[in-house]
Amino acid sequence: MSIIEVKNIYKVYNETKVPVNALNGVDLKIEEGEFTAIVGPSGSGKTTLLNILGGLDLPSKGDIFIEETNLKDLSSRQLTDFRLHNIGFVFQSYNLIPVLTAKENTEFILQLQKVPKKERIQKAMELLEAVGIADKADHRPGQLSGGQQQRVAVARALASQPRFIIADEPTANLDSRSTNDLLEIMAEMNRKYHSTFIFATHDQRVMDKAHRIVTIDDGKIIGDETFKGR
């Protein structure tokens, strides 16, 4: 069974003068442990789709199931709770809470989940170690480079061991070395913890690492390739 199943979803933005059809009938299944890239030209609907997959937004039409749960059936409060326990996020930039240190940011979700302090700190340090910035644990985001910030964001997303992690252009602001490092870390996590990753990206290097590439244009899926053995 797939972790995510999207059935014929549409998304229309009505707030503008001319309604925008951002998604026009998307069907998609994501399996556990996948490392999937969603690609497509700017404005094609990648972010819109990821937001819906991540429970940040609801489709105008169609259903989205995460395992057995139809997100449409959840109240806004349940949806918030659902995100907290099931989904990890990495955004393009300014992911972190500026007043918290790297360690505190990593702990943050665990704390919301009411994980005991000792366990929490241990987990946070383990992950910061894994993403290679344990030495910067007490720095605030403002004192970290863009790449370092993104690593903390990945550590935070993984800390609570979510069902899957959504990353919208996580490497867009990074140079090639940081991009490689970050991808390496995510691939490692994918292997080690069997975490499911879904990216939106324009970045060829990310596509090169992906196990599956879903191409989207004009709100429609126009390609879906799987690369075994990567």
Partner 1 sequence: MLAAIAWRNLWRNKLRSAVIITAIAIGIIGTVVTDGFMSGMTDQRVNAAIANEVSNIQIHNPAFLLNEEIKYTIPQAQKTGNTIRKNQDVKAVSLRLKCQAMASSAIAGAGVTVYGIRPDDEKQVSALHEHIIKGNYLSGKQRFSAIIGQKLAKKLDLGMDDKVIVTLADTTGTITSGAFQIVGIFKTSNDMFDESHVFILKSDMAKLMGFSSASSNEIAILLNNNHSTRSVVRELNKTFKKEIAAHQIVIQSWDQILPILKSLVEIMDYFSYLFLLIILVALAFAIINTMLMAVMERTREIGILMALGLSKRKIFSLIVLETVFLSITGALVGILISISIVYHYSIYGFDLSFVAAGGLNSIGYSSTIFFRVSNNFYLATAIMVILIAVLSSISPALKALKLQPAKAIREDI
Partner 2 sequence: MKTLFKIAWRNLWRNRRRTILTAASVTLALTLALFMRSMQFGSYEQMIRAGVNQVGYLQVHDTGYWNNQSIDRAFFYSDNLGEILHNTKGISHVLPVLQTFSLASYGNRTKGVLISGIDPVKENQQTNLSGKVIKGSYLKENSSGVIMGDKLAEYLKMKVGDTLVLIGQGYRGITAYGIYPVSGIFHLPSPKMNNQVVFMNVTDAQSFVYPYRIGLLTGISVFIRDPSQLNGIKKTLTENLGKHYEVISWKTVLSDLLQTIKMDNASGQIMLLILYLIAAFGIFSTVLMMTMEKRKQYAVMISIGMLRRKLVWVSIFETFIVSVLGVIISLIIISPVLYYLHLNPIPLTGDMANMYLAFNFAPIIPFSIKAHIFISQTVIILILSLLSAFYPIIYISRFNVLNAFRH
Ligand X SMILES: Nc1ncnc2c1ncn2[C@@H]1O[C@H](COP(=O)(O)OP(=O)(O)OP(=O)(O)O)[C@@H](O)[C@H]1O
Return residues touching partner 2 (CB under 8 A): 94, 98, 141-142
Q: In angstroms, what CA-CA distances link 84 with 59, 62, 90, 130?
A: 20, 23, 14, 22
Q: Which does 91 bind (CB under 5 to 8 A by kind): partner 1, partner 2, Mg ion, none?
A: partner 1
Contacts for 199 with CB less than 8 Å, ≥ 6 apart: 36, 37, 38, 167, 168, 169, 170, 206, 210
Q: Which of 18, 76, 204, 229 binds partner 1 (CB under 8 A)?
A: 76
Of the candidates 47, 106, 149, 190, which one interacts with Mg ion according to CB under 5 A? 47
Choose the stretch contacting partner 1; rule: CB under 8 A; options: 60-68, 87-95, 186-194, 218-226: 87-95
Q: Of residues 13-72, which lie at the interface with ligand X (CB under 6 A)? A: 13, 15-16, 20, 22, 40, 42-48
Question: In whole angstroms, how close is the CB of 227 to partner 1 at the nearest point?
Answer: 30
Displacement of CA 87 from its chain's centroid (Å) = 8
Cα–Cα distance measured from residue 211 to residue 225, given in angstroms and rounded to the nearest whole number: 8
Query: According to the binding rule CB under 8 A, does residue 21 interact with partner 1?
Result: no
CA atoms within 13 A on the CB side of 36: 25
Q: What is the CA radius of gyration of the chain?
A: 17
Cβ closest to partner 1, residue 34 vs residue 168: 168
81 near partner 1, rule: CB under 8 A? yes
Of the listed pieces 2-10, 24-32, 105-113, 143-151, which binds partner 1 according to CB under 8 A? Answer: 105-113
Q: Closest separation between CB of residue 174 and partner 1, Å?
A: 18
Residue 65, phi then psi, degrees to nearest 5: -105, 135
Q: For strands 20-30 and 212-217, give the pairing.
A: unpaired
Interacting residues of 191 by C-beta distance below 8 A, sequence separation 6+:
none
- Near partner 1 in 109-138, by CB under 8 A: 109, 111-112
Q: At its nearest, how many Å lie between partner 1 and the CB of residue 127?
A: 15
Considering the complex, what minimum distance in angstroms separates the CB of residue 169 from partner 2? Answer: 17
Positive/negative CA dihedral, 86, 201, 41, 215: negative
Q: Which residues bind partner 1 (CB under 8 A)?
A: 47, 51, 54, 56-57, 76-77, 80-85, 89, 91, 94-95, 97-100, 104, 108-109, 111-112
